[in-house]
């Protein structure tokens, strides 16, 4: 297992020929940004990235100067109003439906992009960009899979925490537990719709999508550092850890005048967010307001959904739809968030104490790992009440040990650049150097892979 957390450890100079890369990411804002940064890094090295993304994020990609093709409609944002999206288990139903809706149109768009231009060197996608794997199977185009958090990598030795419960079982029991989870929960949600699409394009059905299929790629990258996780021996062979995709070497985006005025008007505030795309967080902000009042502390509420904010906020509480984290987080006394890997890693880099309120997906595991580093405390959603929040925030902000741990970890993260390392890993992969590899004509592939049905 390779760890390119220091650019000086990366292999030699990247291939100098210009290569074409198709990139695709499925998810929220935090899932799109790392792939945009990777596309920018590839372009800066003289290569040709083309990004397939939902129309909601089209402008983000265009603003980065990356060629883009889109799918979907703006009305799809209504899914953010589904309360299940922040439910421990029902959130998987929501995600599975998004993937089921996205995969056929994304696969079609990728195949059209392949037909319209020079043959791509590789297709690059995040964990749930299933269409990238399908393109690999039908067109023999190398696939790079990028995992943002360790929780998607199953292990019997060091299993990730997937729920509010911290389950401890003998390692010999986990293979049975994983198989049962796949049979009764994961595959009915994720494999069933995927197999319907596979049948349409002439591919055989598969099982255990999350257990191993999503790792079947020509290169698998973990965009997180070893300091954030153990590296169990039963992880997928060959996975390379690049470090977090933090843009600490880029110029900081300036704060708005309103944000700057608020920050300089008093003591460092506490920041609160339920996630960039969470539209069901009114109770979270109500409780957060009460906790700030109890502590006598200033606060910044971050959400682009104004209807989630309590009316008539007091002068010591400010609401902003957006504030750039790299400019804001170092100026906070503490940061309260949901435990998404983007928010977590940015807070680690900023050196700010964290109160994590996980609700679904990788958030529970990210929370456990961050708390184990001695820089955070966890309050589960059903325990997120004013007195508990106030008490926990007071402990976080008053602890010299936590503050010291935050500073030390921030300094360590400053030494690496996950985007640079990911770019180097891709450009030094065999498929970027061997012109004879994967150069198949579509019509020479097995006929079983070429049966298209309406």
* Alpha-helix runs per DSSP H in 269-340: 282-295, 325-328
CATH code given to domain 257-413:
3.40.50.2000
Contacts of 73 (CB under 8 A, 6+ apart): 55
- Under the banding of pLDDT at 50, 70 and 90, the label for residue 166 is confident
Sequence ranges of the domains in the chain: 2-248+416-449, 257-413
Q: pLDDT by residue (tens digit) across 110-135? A: 999 998 878 888 999 999 999 999 99
Pairing, β 20-24 against β 48-54: parallel
Nearest 5°: the CA angle 285, 288, 289 is: 90
User: Global pTM?
Assistant: 0.88
- Higher-scoring residue by pLDDT: 144, 166: 144
Contacts by 349-353 with C-beta closer than 8 Å and gap 24+? 349/244, 349/246, 349/248, 349/410, 349/413, 349/414, 350/325, 350/326, 350/410, 351/406, 351/407, 351/409, 351/410, 352/271, 352/406, 353/396, 353/397, 353/399, 353/402, 353/403, 353/406
Query: How far is it, in rounded angstroms, from Cα 426 to Cα 440?
Result: 21
CB-CB contact of 225 with 341 (8 Å)? no
pLDDT at 254: 81
Termini Cα distance of the chain:
43
Q: pLDDT by residue (tens digit) across 421-438? A: 999 999 999 999 866 444
Query: How far is it, in rounded angstroms, from Cα 137 to Cα 145?
Result: 14
pLDDT at 279: 64
CATH for the 2-248+416-449 domain, from 3.90.550.10, 3.40.50.2000, 3.30.565.10, 1.10.600.10: 3.40.50.2000
135 backbone dihedrals φ, ψ, rounded to 5°: -65, -35
Q: pLDDT by residue (tens digit) across 278-305? A: 767 899 999 999 999 999 999 999 998 8
Q: pLDDT by residue (tens digit) across 74-85? A: 655 665 556 666
Mean pLDDT of 370-395: 97
* Helix, strand, coil in percent for the chain, rounding step 5: 50, 15, 40
Could you tell me the two tokens for 101? 């809706």
């Amino acid at each position: 297992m390779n760890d390119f957390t220091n650019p000086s450890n990366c292999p030699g100079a990247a291939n100098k020929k210009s290569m074409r890369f198709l990139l695709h990411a499925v998810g929220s804002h935090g899932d799109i940004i790392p792939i945009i940064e990777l596309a920018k890094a590839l372009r800066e090295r003289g290569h040709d990235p083309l990004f397939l993304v939902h129309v909601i994020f089209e402008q983000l990609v265009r603003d980065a100067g990356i060629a883009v093709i889109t799918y979907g409609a703006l009305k799809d944002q209504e899914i953010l109003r589904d309360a299940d999206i922040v439910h421990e288990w029902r959130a998987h139903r929501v995600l599975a439906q998004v993937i089921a809706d996205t995969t056929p149109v994304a696969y079609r768009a990728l195949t059209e992009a392949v037909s319209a231009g020079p043959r791509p060197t590789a297709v690059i996608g995040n964990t749930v960009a299933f269409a990238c794997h399908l393109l690999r199977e039908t067109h023999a185009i190398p696939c790079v899979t990028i995992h943002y958090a360790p929780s998607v990598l199953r292990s019997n030795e060091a299993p990730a925490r997937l729920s509010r419960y911290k389950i401890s079982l003998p390692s010999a029991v986990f293979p049975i537990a994983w198989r049962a989870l796949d049979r009764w929960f994961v595959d009915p949600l994720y494999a069933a719709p995927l197999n319907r699409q596979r049948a349409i394009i002439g591919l055989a059905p598969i099982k255990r999508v999350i257990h191993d299929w999503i790792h079947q790629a020509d290169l698998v990258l973990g965009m997180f550092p070893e300091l954030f996780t153990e590296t169990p021996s039963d992880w997928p062979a060959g996975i390379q850890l690049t470090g977090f995709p933090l843009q600490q070497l880029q110029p900081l985006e300036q704060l708005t005048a309103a944000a700057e005025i608020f920050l300089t008007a008093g003591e460092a505030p506490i920041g609160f967010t339920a996630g960039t795309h969470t539209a069901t967080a009114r109770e979270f902000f109500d409780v957060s307001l009460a906790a700030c009042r109890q502590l006598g502390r200033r606060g910044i509420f971050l959400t682009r959904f104004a209807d989630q904010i309590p009316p008539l906020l007091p002068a010591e509480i400010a609401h902003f739809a957006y504030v750039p984290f790299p400019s804001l987080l170092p100026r906070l006394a503490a940061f309260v968030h949901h435990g998404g890997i983007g928010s977590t890693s940015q807070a680690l880099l900023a050196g700010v104490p964290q109160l994590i309120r996980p609700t679904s997906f990788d958030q529970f595991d990210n929370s456990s790992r961050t708390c184990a580093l001695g820089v955070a405390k966890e309050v589960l959603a059903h325990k997120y009440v004013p007195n508990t929040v106030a008490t926990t925030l007071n402990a976080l902000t008053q602890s010299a040990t936590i503050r010291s741990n935050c500073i030390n970890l921030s300094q360590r993260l400053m030494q690496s650049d996950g985007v640079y390392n990911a770019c180097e890993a891709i450009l030094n992969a065999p498929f970027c150097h061997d012109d004879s590899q994967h150069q198949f004509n579509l019509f020479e592939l097995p006929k079983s892979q070429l049966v298209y049905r309406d």
